[in-house]
Amino acid sequence: MSALTDSEIIVNLWYVYDDLGVIYSLRGRCYVGSGSDEEKLALLRRFAATDYLIAKPFSVPERLHTIVNADDGIRRLPIVTPEAFELMNNPVALFEELFVELEKELPAQTRLSIGSAPLICITPLLANEDGNLKPIISPTRRLRICRHPRARGNNRRCDVADGVRSRLGPRSISTATSAQGGKLLLEDDSTFRLCPCAGDYLLRVRCTDPWSNRPEFAISDFWEFREGDRLLITNRQDDYPAPVEHMEEGGPSLWKALPGDRLAWVGWRMQSNERKPTLVALINCQHEGYVYGEPASPSLSLA
């Protein structure tokens, strides 16, 4: 087999994180590899230790931004916390939008493309306080990972080097370069994973008369969270905590949100020396989806 017919585009991917495990930047670079998978992986691993210096940087995708209740109000930061990273089914979820951008940058004249199952190597980059990056090269494991169908292709052959993960701290937040308010939009293909505090509660607010000149809203349901509970709001089937038919049946810890619903996350936070109810986040449902209150010790029974 000739080198040309045996060649394919293979990809090095990097994510930048700090000493607290917070991810705040991504990088990617394409190569042309030929030979066996092991030979292609060897090429990727060799350049993973150096080519991050010239690889194009990318921001953390908006769908993965973190909501932070800071002293100056609710902020949505372009970072991924260690907890959120742990909840991902696979690390490739970080790079879905990056793949799209890399595909756009391929020369029009090339006959090669990023196929449905290209070979990938993911390497963590540890950033110190001066912004210097250190690739964490460690023994890796081979994975075959299914990607979300919205991205081109369904599978990526992947080589992953694990990074350090720990708690989010104030200095991590300062690494973010932009922020938004705490109002979120539940649009098509959205997932929010939130970690309420004990005593926080969630209100589902529904319009009772959408046809009037001044629509009226009423609280249609209410949850209170305990220590360690989590909140999942999604309409991405890949992120459902149970099969679709079970989701449709619903249950005491599962709501179906309809377009026009509002989900108000309220918590008791310090206001000066007093604890007062605070609107932590308001989710405006522009698309239907599911809201699942995951208990600290889950035994999922939605029916």
Same domain, 104 and 81: yes
Q: Residue 210: its pLDDT value, please?
A: 63
- The answer as to whether 16 is a domain residue is yes
Q: What is the pLDDT of residues 49-94, one digit of tens each?
A: 999 999 999 988 888 888 776 555 566 788 888 777 776 666 778 8
Same domain, 19 and 124: yes
Same domain, 152 and 212: no
* Containing structural domain, residue 259: 182-294
Show Cβ contacts of residue 132 under 8 Å, excluding neighbours closer than 6 positions. Answer: none
CA distances in angstroms from 146 to 86, 119, 156, 193, listed in the order given: 17, 13, 6, 20
- The answer as to whether 2 is a domain residue is no
pLDDT at 1 exceeding the cut of 50? no
- The answer as to whether 177 is a domain residue is no
In this prediction the pTM is 0.52
CA-nearest of 86, 87, 144 to 120 is: 144
- The answer as to whether 104 is a domain residue is yes
pLDDT at 48 exceeding the cut of 50? yes
- The answer as to whether 300 is a domain residue is no
At 21, the pLDDT band (50, 70, 90 cuts) reads confident
Show Cβ contacts of residue 242 under 8 Å, excluding neighbours closer than 6 positions. Answer: 300, 302
